[in-house]
Structures are given as structure tokens and as C-alpha cells.
Structure 1
Amino acid sequence: MNNLPLAQEVLRTGAADDMDVVVLDYEARFLRRRKLRSQAGLSFVVDLEKTTSLDDGDALGLSDGVRIAVRAAPEEVLEVRGSLPRLAWHIGNRHTPCQICADHLVIQRDPVIRHMLEHLGADVTETVRPFTPEGGAYGHGRTHSHEHGHTAHAD
């Protein structure tokens, strides 16, 4: 891995249509250090200062000047329809990542959460699509802890 270019910079909304691409599912987009291979076959090492949640549309800046677009991979998810505010509350109350769309919610496949949602009257459909859940109120990406700093609390 010593001779591979390093990706040490995340460029938010930095992806362009003419860039090489790395396609990662939701879990794989949460990383600090990992060897990746782009769709064009370029191997590189992501070596970020801290564990970071990458979003679809971000780009990784490599040490040799190349930029690699990050795209969300299709994965098994549940589309949830019904009383969205109520259903979203129950999903959030269980700290389940959730993508909010105009007429439905999207969560990762989970039989226990599915059963709960159906019990609440939701129409739940299994599908495969990119999963890009909301990041969180206290910072960009996943929020596994309540950190203060450059957040809504900072000013």
C-alpha cells in the first residue's frame, strides 16, 4: 500500500460527471483508513484524520491531484409509506438511519423495525436502491455522539 496514492481530503459536493468513481454502500461510506479501487481500476488508500461519513456526491482528493467521485451503491432497503411524521418519529426513536423523501421514508432492511412499522399501519416495500439517510442535527454525516464544535450550537 506504500506506493498507492493517498486520499486525505474529502470535498463535499465535489463530484463531477467526468471523474472516476468509487461506489460504496452506506456502511462502507463510514471510514477512516481503507484501501479502495475505483470503477476505472485505480487503487488508492483513504487515510483521513478521523472517521468520516462520506455522502453520495462527495469527492476524495488524492495526493497525486486526481479526484474520485463517491457514489452510493444500491442496497437492500425498505420504502415506508403512511403517516410519515408518526412513522419517522418511531424510526428516529430507535436511532435508525432514515432517508426522508417527499412521499416516503427509506431505511435499511430490518425485520424487527419492519414489523413495528407494519403494526403502526405503514405500507412497507422491499427494494434495492442507493441509501442516503439524513446526517443529523449536530454535524455532517452520522452522529454517534453529541459533540460540540462547528455545529448549530457553535454560534
Structure 2
Amino acid sequence: MTRVAEILPAGSWNESDAADIFAADYEGRHRRRMMLALRSGAKVLLELEHARLLHDGDGLRLEDGRIIRVEAMAEDLMEVTAHDPLHLLRLAWHLGNRHLPAAIGGQRILVRHDHVIADMVRGLGGHVHNVRAAFDPESGAYAGRGAGHAHGDEHHHHSHD
């Protein structure tokens, strides 16, 4: 069985070198250990020390040297927009306070569907629209998004709940 030897962060490798593609939604890209079904029909083993989100454009260097491109598939999301940049910043603070995965852009924030969160955003004067897009949320301060070997990054998460 061919294994993933190293995760190459998006932008750190030449995507034209990709030998195949692993395409999945957010849930399918946030894993510790699984068989990855590639577009060609081949399968490779991902085995990490800790669960990690594979981002759109990341490369998976296999033991044999081939590189597999990670592709974030479109999924149903909520697009949060605001009246102005300061209002969007305030909405981002409220979303972050709930520890939600979020993809933050200059004009919008994408989050996964949750009717309670939609009601909260509307109650804060924000707008919620259903969209279909690739979901590639921010990693977080301790996620170790830099280059790393497949055995995992040395970091720890502390819960404040």
C-alpha cells in the first residue's frame, strides 16, 4: 500500500507536478488516518499522528515521490455578509467566539450550515445567503499549517470548555 510521506502546503510546490487528485469536502479532508480514493481510482494511505485539515492546493508527497493535489469540493455553505468592514469584523468575532470553522474573505465569511448561527447573524444585523462553494477554513493559531511530515506536527490543543 502506498503511503503519504509528507504534506506540502499549498503554494510551496508546483501544481503542474501533480500525478493525481484527492478531492473531498471539508469533512473528507479533516482526517488523521484513512484510505484516500484518488480521481484515477487508485488509493493511498494517509496516517497522521493528529487529525489535520488538508487544504485546497496542498500536495501529498507519496513514498514513491509522486505528488497528489488536494482539491476542496464545493458544498452547501452559509455566506455571511455585513453592512461595512467593521460590521463584518464584529460578526467574525461572534463566529470565532463559537469556535466555528470559517473561511474569511474581505467581503464575506463562509461557514457550514447551522440554523442557530444563521439566526444569531441575522440578530446581529448581518445577512446570510446559502451558497455552494469550496470550504477551506482558517486553520487556527496552533494548527501547524506549515510544511510537515505525515507523522504529524508537534502541537497541542487546550480546551477551555
TM-score, with normalisation over the residues of structure 2? 0.81
List alignment gaps of at least 5 residues for structure 2. Answer: 146-154
Instruction: State yes or no: 1:116 paired with 2:113.
Output: no
Whether contact under 8 Å (2:142, 2:156) holds in the other structure is no
Take 1:98 and 1:61, find their aligned partners in 2: how far apart are those partners? 27
Please tell me whether residue 88 in structure 1 is matched to residue 92 in structure 2. yes
Higher relative contact order (CA 8 A, sep 6+): 2
Q: Where does the alignment leave 5 or more consecutive residues of structure 1 unmatched?
A: 148-155
Q: Secondary structure of 2:26's match?
A: coil
In 2, the alpha carbon distance for the partners of 1:123 and 1:144 equals 35
1:47 positional shift: 1.7
Structure 1 consecutive aligned stretches of length 4 or more whose deviation exceeds 3 Å: none
Measure, in 2, the Cα distance between the counterparts of 1:67 and 1:103: 34
Match of 1:68 in 2: 68
Q: State the partner residue of 1:16.
A: 15
Name the structure 2 match of 1:153.
Answer: none
Given candidates 2, 15, 19, the residue that maps to 1:5 is 2
- C-alpha displacement at 1:15, in angstroms? 5.8
- In 2: Cα distance, 1:110 partner to 1:15 partner: 37
The count of aligned residue pairs is: 143
So what's the TM-score if we normalise by structure 1? 0.84
Give % identity: 38
> Which residue is 2:136 aligned to?
132
Report which of the two has the higher share of helix: 2
SS in 2 for 1:65: coil
Q: Which secondary structure state, in structure 2, belongs to the residue aligned with residue 47 of structure 1?
A: strand
